[in-house]
């Protein structure tokens, strides 16, 4: 009887748990930029289309290496494809030629050359360029700091709630980490300038690259 009453008494005073979320952001200065260059042409035969596309890709690579000093590792082929082209005439599908496309992933490590390179390549015939993405080699450090900050943020919230409830924090029962996210902030201006060689150069404004971490922590209350 005494044991049963003691167990019931202890269960009544069990403080339970509290679950809180925390978040933090840490910024890093971008030191790399990347974008995709795609050359695409349509000709009567597959060979003609591929030859013309390859010639333009080779011209772009030569510009990147000879004029701007990009290394081989910073220029990689990401796509090669060929497809037939058709038009509909009098209700019938008519083959008009073959289309060939080839894409390069370009990484720029000299931030001052982003605008000149982007503007120079945009002048090439049959070339399309994706938007520029900024990144930082310090992102791993920024993400680690953001995760630490998120845990501290959650701890501060939990301590505030526990104090208000007249309890205290005990051990951690569970930690759930959400997927990290990176938020590159930049803007490409519409206006283009001319460099000393007469090539167009896109100007831009680069902000920080932000690592964000979010965490959910469940504490035991005592």
> What CATH number does the domain containing 153 carry?
3.30.110.170
Task: Give the C-alpha distances (Å, rounded to integers) separating 190 from 110, 117, 211.
Answer: 22, 15, 28
List of E strands, 14-163 = 17-28, 32-43, 75-89, 92-108, 127-129, 133-135
Q: Do residue 75 and residue 143 come from a single domain?
A: no
Give residue-wise pLDDT tens across range 105-149: 999 999 989 989 999 999 999 999 998 888 899 989 999 999 999
φ and ψ at residue 218, rounded to 5 degrees: -105, 125
Helices (H) and strands (E) in the chain, counts: 4, 9
Of 21, 16, 17, the residue nearest 156 (C-alpha): 21
Identify the domain boundary among 135, 163, 181.
Answer: 135
**Who wins on pLDDT, 193 or 49?**
49
Tell me, what's the pLDDT at 186? Answer: 44
Domain count, the chain: 2
Q: Do residue 37 and residue 130 come from a single domain?
A: yes
Q: Quick check: 2 pLDDT over 60?
A: no
- Distance, C-alpha 178 to centroid of its chain: 16
Tell me, what's the pLDDT at 75? Answer: 98
Identify the domain boundary among 135, 168, 195.
Answer: 135
Q: Do residue 80 and residue 116 come from a single domain?
A: yes
Give the domain range for residue 124.
32-135
| CATH code for the domain of 66 | 3.30.70.2970
Strand partners, 40: 101
Strand, helix or coil for residue 58: helix
């Amino acid at each position: 009887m005494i044991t049963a009453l003691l167990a019931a008494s202890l269960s009544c005073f069990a403080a339970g748990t509290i679950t809180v979320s925390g978040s933090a952001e840490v910024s890093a200065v971008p030191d790399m930029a990347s974008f995709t260059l795609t050359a695409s042409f349509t000709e009567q035969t597959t060979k003609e289309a591929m030859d013309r596309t390859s010639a333009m890709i080779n011209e772009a690579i030569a510009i990147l290496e000879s004029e701007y000093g990009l290394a081989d590792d910073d220029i990689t082929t990401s796509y090669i494809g060929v497809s037939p082209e058709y038009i509909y005439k009098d209700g019938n599908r008519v083959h008009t030629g073959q289309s060939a496309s080839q894409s390069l992933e370009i990484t720029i490590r000299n931030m001052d050359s982003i605008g000149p390179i982007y503007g120079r390549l945009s002048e090439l015939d049959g070339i399309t360029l994706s938007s520029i993405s900024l990144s930082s080699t310090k992102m791993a450090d920024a993400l680690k700091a953001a995760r630490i900050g998120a845990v501290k943020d959650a701890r501060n919230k939990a301590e505030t709630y526990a104090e208000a409830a007249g309890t205290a924090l005990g051990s951690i029962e569970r930690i759930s980490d959400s997927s990290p996210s990176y938020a590159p902030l930049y803007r490409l201006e519409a206006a283009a300038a001319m460099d000393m060689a007469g090539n167009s150069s896109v100007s831009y404004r680069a902000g920080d690259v932000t690592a964000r971490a979010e965490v959910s922590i469940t504490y035991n209350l005592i």
